[in-house]
Structure 1
Amino acid sequence: MATDSEEQDAALLPGTRRALDHRLAVAQAEGRVPSAVAAVVRDGRTVWTGVRGGEVAEAGGGPEGGGPTPGTQYRIGSITKTLVAVLVMRLRDEGLLDLSDPLGRHLEVPGGPGTPGAAGASGEEVASATVAQLLSHSGGLAAEPRGPWWERTPGDLRPGTADLFGERPVRHPAGRLHHYSNLGYALLGSLVERLRGAPWDEVLREEVLRPLGMERTTPLPEEPYARGWAVHPWADAVLPEPLADTGRMAPAGQLWSTAGDLCRFAAFLSAGDDRVLGAGSLAEMRTPAVAPEASDGDRTYGLGVQLVRSGGRLLAGHTGSMPGFLAAVWTAPDERLASVALLNATAGTAVGGLAADLLTTVAEREPSFPAPWRPRSAADPELLALTGPWYWGPSGVALRLREGRALELVPLGGAGRASRFRPEEDDTWTGLDGYYAGETLRVVRGADGAVSHLDLGTFVFTRHPYDPQAPVPGGVDPRGWRAG
């Protein structure tokens, strides 16, 4: 990870910087936000930071009563959820749980099977929701816990897990649709505590924050930090928002962080870090888990990650809000770009749109250079022999060999099904995306050892269109190809 001084060396062009400064200034002024801090990351380095507002000492939280800096803490709200999701994925990668496990297999749920509690039958439904469904907000759980507005009230109002449940903690059949649930992430935090034997925030600090150098990300604010404000809708006046420790609900939105720390987190979300979570698991988190509603077709959700289409590109990250604060982190991993925005107002500016616009500005004005092509050090002759054209019936595809014995299937002519394939230890490959995601690709050989065909999820691919020498389902007419 680059140091702060190194990060500032990779400067953008002056015109790009001015466009970013202008976009932030407009957001702060027109949104009537006391202060705003934003940043853009390219190739893992912070290449621009912007600060606006905060001339009033109380509104800015700067080191000497002035405006904020990239090191000023803001509350990041639901970006906390993405950090919790990283902890859960670490548990999965270590074999301590499976994403398909019901929550009740690892965590005692009040009212669930074999446990007492007022939740009753609903408790059983909560316990049966899978870890993946909780991560993707598709477990059908209620959006909020019982009691008063949890974001503005002390967590000691709900001291135990049982205190989170209202009369109907389950509102929809599990797996049916996306229904955002703060309650679900409170339970995932409890799951982390149960399997690690330590408070979730301590686990987060040791397993994620310290390895990534996020030393200014904390459960409670540490000076310098911005104060949270509500801005009057019809007058230029502000009202301080309360600062509450939300207790059991903390995994849904408790954390405070800085633009500098979130830039480090964005770089991690883009490329992975084997000390924390590998690129493969992060790519899994970015895979849509539930189809979006028809009215929200440009947005969906993965595993602890929001996905939004903006400026013609798919962004992955998360927005956050708590009383007095708005935050966003977006990444475009294929372009090695990310953006961060932090505001200290309850409402006024679409923070996700601001962060997306900053990223798009850099992408369009200074598009990322592709990594230089380099020849492979060596290629397995048997795999090389598999490359080239194959045919599913009359439809042509090309099989390409990639780094690490990975394969890629690309339709010839541009129309058709494409997919990348991960090599497995049993000499098969597993599809990673598209129609063939999760399907198995096998190389089938004849009695003489020569390759007969490829079997991909029961589809037979041959070297020639409808090759009569291969076991094409339904057979091939013995008269062969003919006119008319």
Structure 2
Amino acid sequence: MSETPEVPPAASAAEELLPTTRRALLHRLARAQAEGRTPSMVGAVVRDGATVWTSGRSMMEGHGPDGDTQYRIGSLTKTFVAVLVMRLRDEGLLDLADPLGLHLPDTEPARATIAQLLAHTSGLAAETPGPWWERTSGELRPELADLLGAAPMKHPAGRVHHYSNPGFALLGALVEKLRGKPWGDVLRAEVLEPLGMTRTTLLPQAPHAGGWAVHPWADVMQPEPLHDTGRMAPAGQLWSTADDLCRWAVFLAGGDERVLSAATVAEMRTPAAAPAGEDWDPGYGLGVQLLRRDGRPLAGHTGSMPGFLATLWVSVEDGVGAVVLTNATSGPQVASVAADLLAIVADNEPRFPEPWRPRSAADPALLALTGPWYWGTTPFVLRLGAERDVELTALDGRGRGARFRAERDGTWTGLDGYYAGETLRVVRGDDGEVRHLDLGSFVFTREPYDEAAGVPGGVDPEGWR
């Protein structure tokens, strides 16, 4: 078995991984390649915006893959298409609530929204009508209608999460319609070039791995066919490298103003389809897979095409991402391997918190709002965040807390949990003094059921007794 020497990290010496961490990473990759019986495997880890580890394992002596070897990345392609759609949204060329038919008339599912297509809740079929699109030429399906068949809807739109490859083919067609050019050209100009991803392409470019099927009951292989999937390409056509996907991991964790803002990328990572399950808790955002592995939230995507498997995960909280690519149709559990590589770094070399520093100044009116508040008899505490943002937290940890973003009109908008999108405002009396906080009609008072605060329904005149 050939092993590619570990690639020196792009980070400074102060940011390099410890030798014990590097050995643990290499051991996990080697075990995955051997146990998964795959011709080759390459793994990479990015931390705080820099690639800190890359290595590959191969069955062929002298031919170990490196960070510049292309592999087909399958459904990881969907994250790129989703970014193109979100760019159109941010430019005002579409709304996520728009029905598809508004932009692609006479195309099913006309009533499903763009957001539903991104989150796989459109109700569309998982696959195209036969033959198997991943192993046949896209020339067999020259029109959009050829991707859907006679009865494409399997569920009512918006009702359930049902993964749909044709749904992303439609999103690719949407990009082409609104940009007036092939989606691959749009991707290269608007995303790949700005991010320096020169080795991510629609068709393979040397050096690239070949795709193989490994016999399930014998150590023999045969090559998988390679086809341009045509109109289905937005569902899984792209080829990329570990080096390029490390750049993509950095982008998915923090955005890049040349492509998408950090706020829009965070929106993509927000659950749009209800999660389910125990350990992994899989869910889906807007073109981004979500899961919770051993309590750690991860975002990214898995991918598979005949002859190839791929996974990219990022942990925003840890500042770590991991990529695993391999050239076998099935066998190695690359989603678990990538999650393990990420965890090895995050657990063995946890991120140092930023040092605490006092604020340079605080608005006295804001400062006066901090401290305890009561929703009925439940105690909460209001704290100042960055700038003028605030956080409302139940003191026993069981209430509906949330972070709030300050707005120009003096109100705040909920960012997470039950109050996401809801408005928090200060209610003052005729004398200008604060009477209570109003949060989506819920009243928070300085004392439990403060009779001077205008509690809805009034307060018993005899008070507490």
TM-score, length basis structure 2: 0.95
CA-CA distance at 1:147 after TM superposition: 3.0
CA-CA distance at 1:240 after TM superposition: 0.7
Where 1:78 maps in the other structure, the secondary structure is helix
| Alignment of 1:258 onto 2:241 | yes
RMSD value, Cα: 1.7
Counterpart residue identity of residue 7, structure 1: A
CA-CA distance at 1:210 after TM superposition: 1.4
Name the residue aligned to 1:434: 417
CA-CA distance at 1:302 after TM superposition: 1.0
- Matched residues in 1 for 2:219 and 2:265: separation? 43
| Alignment of 1:7 onto 2:4 | no
Name the residue aligned to 1:38: 43
- List gaps (5 residues or longer) in structure 2: 1-6
Counterpart residue identity of residue 102, structure 1: P
Percent of matched pairs sharing the same residue: 68
Question: Could you report, residue by residue, the CA deviation over 1:155-213 in whole angstroms, capped at 9, with x for unpaired residues?
Answer: 11111212212111111011111100000000001111111112111111111111211
Name the residue aligned to 1:290: 273
Counterpart residue identity of residue 92, structure 2: G
Where 1:105 maps in the other structure, the secondary structure is helix
Name the residue aligned to 1:59: none
* Equivalent pair of 2:73/2:325 in contact (CA under 8 Å): yes
Out of 84, 89, 94, which is 1:87 matched to? 84
Name the residue aligned to 1:113: none
CA-CA distance at 1:297 after TM superposition: 7.0
| Alignment of 1:106 onto 2:103 | yes
1:368–1:174 CA distance, 2 compared to 1 (3 A)? same
Name the residue aligned to 1:243: 226
1:85–1:175 CA distance, 2 compared to 1 (3 A)? same
| Alignment of 1:66 onto 2:63 | yes
Question: Which deviates the most, 379-388 or 230-239?
Answer: 379-388
Name the residue aligned to 1:205: 188
- Matched residues in 2 for 1:74 and 1:377: separation? 50
> 5 Å matches for 1:176-191?
176-191=159-174
Name the residue aligned to 2:3: none
Name the residue aligned to 1:116: none
1:403–1:459 CA distance, 2 compared to 1 (3 A)? same
* Equivalent pair of 2:270/2:285 in contact (CA under 8 Å): yes
> How many pairs align?
458
* Equivalent pair of 1:72/1:226 in contact (CA under 8 Å): yes
CA-CA distance at 1:236 after TM superposition: 1.1
Where 1:404 maps in the other structure, the secondary structure is coil
1:294–1:7 CA distance, 2 compared to 1 (3 A)? closer
CA-CA distance at 1:14 after TM superposition: 1.0
- Matched residues in 2 for 1:375 and 1:256: separation? 48
* Equivalent pair of 1:8/1:47 in contact (CA under 8 Å): no
* Equivalent pair of 1:341/1:354 in contact (CA under 8 Å): yes
* Equivalent pair of 2:280/2:294 in contact (CA under 8 Å): no
| Alignment of 1:223 onto 2:200 | no
Question: Could you report, residue by residue, the CA deviation over 1:401-423 in whole angstroms, capped at 9, with x for unpaired residues?
Answer: 21132111111132211111122
- Matched residues in 2 for 1:16 and 1:357: separation? 12
Counterpart residue identity of residue 286, structure 2: L
Out of 433, 452, 464, which is 2:447 matched to? 464
Question: Could you report, residue by residue, the CA deviation over 1:371-413 in whole angstroms, capped at 9, with x for unpaired residues?
Answer: 2223333333322222221111111111112113211111113
Name the residue aligned to 2:4: none
- Matched residues in 2 for 1:294 and 1:330: separation? 18
Question: Could you report, residue by residue, the CA deviation over 1:187-246 in whole angstroms, capped at 9, with x for unpaired residues?
Answer: 001111111112111111111111211111111111101111111111111111111111
* Equivalent pair of 2:369/2:382 in contact (CA under 8 Å): yes
Question: Which deviates the most, 407-416 or 13-22?
Answer: 407-416
Question: Could you report, residue by residue, the CA deviation over 1:267-315 in whole angstroms, capped at 9, with x for unpaired residues?
Answer: 1111121221122212211121122356897111111111112122111
- Matched residues in 2 for 1:380 and 1:91: separation? 38
- Matched residues in 1 for 2:234 and 2:11: separation? 30
| Alignment of 1:328 onto 2:333 | no
* Equivalent pair of 2:8/2:53 in contact (CA under 8 Å): no
Counterpart residue identity of residue 263, structure 1: C
Where 1:303 maps in the other structure, the secondary structure is coil
- Matched residues in 2 for 1:134 and 1:331: separation? 23
Counterpart residue identity of residue 188, structure 1: L
Where 1:216 maps in the other structure, the secondary structure is coil
Where 1:371 maps in the other structure, the secondary structure is coil
Out of 338, 344, 349, which is 2:321 matched to? 338
Question: Could you report, residue by residue, the CA deviation over 1:434-472 in whole angstroms, capped at 9, with x for unpaired residues?
Answer: 111111111111111221111001100111111111111
